[in-house]
Structure 1
Amino acid sequence: MLGIDSGGSFLKFGVYREGKRHLDHLNLFPLPNTKEFLTFLFEGHSSILMTGAGADSITNLLSKENIDKIEFLPEFLATGLGGAYLAGADQCIVVNIGSGTPILYVDREEKKVKHLGGTGLGSASLAGLSHYLTGTSDLEEIGNEALKGNPSKVNLLISDIYSKPDEIGIPGYITASNFGKYQNWRHTNAENKPSKVDFLAGLHSMVGETIAMVSTLASRQYKDINPELPIIITGGGTLNPALINYLEFTYKYLNQKYIIPQNAVFATLHGVFLVKDLFSN
């Protein structure tokens, strides 16, 4: 049985054999896929499970024979159950960083996944804004380059606006305004202006801090049910080292428990098989 997670930026696929989940995978960026590749992928499979925002674009490239093989499954259900499964969590918040970032409450025992909201910031935001800022949109490149930059060159920090930040109960190193130092850029020597890697660092900090803050607030809605409710990070964003750096930094500041499971990028793909197993009867 073939499983496919067709997202807005990547396609992931895996094959279920002999009761075990063996994931053969190929990341494609950017989409769309080619008709020849999809025909090759479908060859030899009589049953195909599919989910993801890109499912419609895939079916437009397939023959009727191949379309008839497909069973479509709800994406949020697959993402939530897949993320919880990979993390070994019974109850959790799953944050799936794809093109954008949905936030899901998951109760595996109840087979329940609830979409709590999310943010439009995600990997596509990083690629798009980086393109406009630096002319580069390759996610692997910008993620590595951002690690070399200093986000405080572009972000306005609490310590920049409060001489005694402890008096307001917020550490001075916390961001007060993403890209808020633009006034400084206009009134400084050229050599002191932010570099390309500083802009990339600032961009990744903005996306990482926002996702961490929004998901932490979501998890606190359930503190009466489970005060130790973990946040599970999944999706293609887990492959970006700079994004993960700022996510982890913010979660630690907020004292929020989080888990980035192994193979987190394939959480939704694992989930399509789980959904099929759980709801087939």
Structure 2
Amino acid sequence: MSQEYVGIDAGGTLSKIVYTHGEDWGYKKIATNRVAEINRWIQANFTNPHIHITGGKAGVLLQEFPVSAKNVNEFEATCEGVNWLLEQNGILSQIGSQFMVTNVGTGTSIHYVQQDSYERIGGSGMGGGTLLGLSYLLTGEDHYDKILELGRKGEGEGLNVTVSDIYSHETPPISGDLTASNFGKAAQMKDKAFSKEDYISAIVRMIGETITTMSVQAAERLKTDAIIYIGTTFSRHDTLKEIVKGYTELRGKQAYFLEYGEYSGAIGALLNNGLKKAVL
């Protein structure tokens, strides 16, 4: 019988699970607060697996699991998983061994990877939690799928001040389509009604532009052109991907979105090859 392995990335909302049965890999998501369900699923599908856990809620799962499991550093696991996915998809040879990783979950964490080393460069409170929180405050919607649906239909640009709005009587020094102030026209809501769709569209644009700006600035400083965007916030969110991709390319960098990218932490935990933390 071949050995079984399970890697779990226990996030604030979802636990991403990667597992192997011989040569076959599988992927699954279960809400992190449903620990009993995670336990039942593992017991029903595996005999005696090696379990490696990472993520902010790893401690919660480790306390509740009836079997022993290894705790793996979250940032190390994420970068290890990204490396593996890049290699599996034939992208690593294109971009080389030096790149940025922007992980957009509840918030955002940005990393620099060089060969077998990594360094966390910074992060932001902007992320999926921002999308859920502001969408609820502005529209009353709190279901993620509904928020995605509404955001696709909105025209959020009408809530933002653009560079062209500021340079209204002369040629702007940079692209006039760029956002100068997110929600800068919101005060006009007393004169004009904005829809739920418009509000959510504007929130998505604010999040996308903010995390892209941070990522591009970090890439500039560290002299690399490749930025790998991962995280559950991108899952099924084509609008956010389009904003991030377009803005990244506008700034002269290359944006990559990986299939199964949201499972990078779980993959890295499962592999657990031990990336070194870089000292820059």
- TM-score (normalised: structure 1): 0.86
Q: Offset of 1:254 from its aligned partner?
A: 1.2
Structure 1: runs of 5+ lacking an equivalent: none
Question: 113, 129, 133: which is aligned to 1:106?
Answer: 113
CA distance in 1, matches of 2:169, 2:21: 61
Equivalent residue, structure 2, for 1:8 = 12
Q: Secondary structure at the match of 1:12?
A: strand
Q: Offset of 1:177 from its aligned partner?
A: 0.6
Q: Offset of 1:41 from its aligned partner?
A: 3.0
Equivalent residue, structure 1, for 2:26 = 23
* Bigger relative CO (Cα 8 Å, ≥ 6 apart): 2
**Greater fraction of residues in strand:** 2
Q: Offset of 1:38 from its aligned partner?
A: 2.7
Residues 185 and 52 of structure 1: is their aligned pair in 2 closer, same or farther, counting only changes over 3 Å? same
CA distance in 2, matches of 1:171, 1:274: 44
Equivalent residue, structure 2, for 1:32 = 33
Q: Offset of 1:61 from its aligned partner?
A: 2.7
Q: Offset of 1:34 from its aligned partner?
A: 3.7
Residues 263 and 113 of structure 1: is their aligned pair in 2 closer, same or farther, counting only changes over 3 Å? same
Q: Secondary structure at the match of 1:255?
A: coil
Q: Secondary structure at the match of 1:82?
A: helix
Give per-residue Cα distances to partners, 1:7-47, cap 9 Å, x unaligned: 112111121232x360231243xx41142x13213323342
- TM-score (normalised: structure 2): 0.86
CA distance in 2, matches of 1:268, 1:165: 48
Letter in 2 for 1:84: N
Contact 2:81 2:267 (C-alpha < 8 Å) held by counterparts: yes
Deviates more, 1:130-139 or 1:240-249: 240-249
Give per-residue Cα distances to partners, 1:62-104, cap 9 Å, x unaligned: 33xx2xx201111101111212332233221011111111000
Q: Offset of 1:247 from its aligned partner?
A: 1.1
Question: 129, 136, 151: which is aligned to 1:131?
Answer: 136
CA distance in 2, matches of 1:185, 1:277: 52
Equivalent residue, structure 1, for 2:253 = 256
Residues 45 and 166 of structure 1: is their aligned pair in 2 closer, same or farther, counting only changes over 3 Å? farther
CA distance in 1, matches of 2:49, 2:196: 49
Deviates more, 1:48-57 or 1:77-86: 77-86
Residues 211 and 81 of structure 1: is their aligned pair in 2 closer, same or farther, counting only changes over 3 Å? same
Letter in 1 for 2:107: G
Q: What pairs with 1:1-281 in structure 2 (closer than 5 Å)?
A: 1-18=5-22, 20=23, 22-28=25-31, 31-35=32-36, 37-43=37-43, 44-63=47-66, 66=67, 69-87=68-86, 88-89=91-92, 90-108=97-115, 111-164=116-169, 166-167=171-172, 169-186=173-190, 188=191, 192-223=192-223, 226=224, 229-239=225-235, 240-276=237-273
Letter in 2 for 1:260: F
Contact 2:30 2:38 (C-alpha < 8 Å) held by counterparts: no
CA distance in 2, matches of 1:238, 1:27: 17
Deviates more, 1:244-253 or 1:149-158: 244-253
Ranges of 4+ aligned residues in structure 1 off by more than 4 Å = none
CA distance in 1, matches of 2:195, 2:71: 46
Matched length: 260
Contact 1:212 1:247 (C-alpha < 8 Å) held by counterparts: yes
Aligned residues: percent identity?
A: 28
Q: Offset of 1:278 from its aligned partner?
A: 6.9
Q: Secondary structure at the match of 2:100?
A: strand
Residues 129 and 21 of structure 1: is their aligned pair in 2 closer, same or farther, counting only changes over 3 Å? farther
Contact 2:62 2:69 (C-alpha < 8 Å) held by counterparts: no
Q: Offset of 1:165 from its aligned partner?
A: 5.9
Contact 2:104 2:127 (C-alpha < 8 Å) held by counterparts: yes
Contact 1:14 1:22 (C-alpha < 8 Å) held by counterparts: yes
Q: Secondary structure at the match of 2:64?
A: coil
Contact 2:80 2:275 (C-alpha < 8 Å) held by counterparts: no
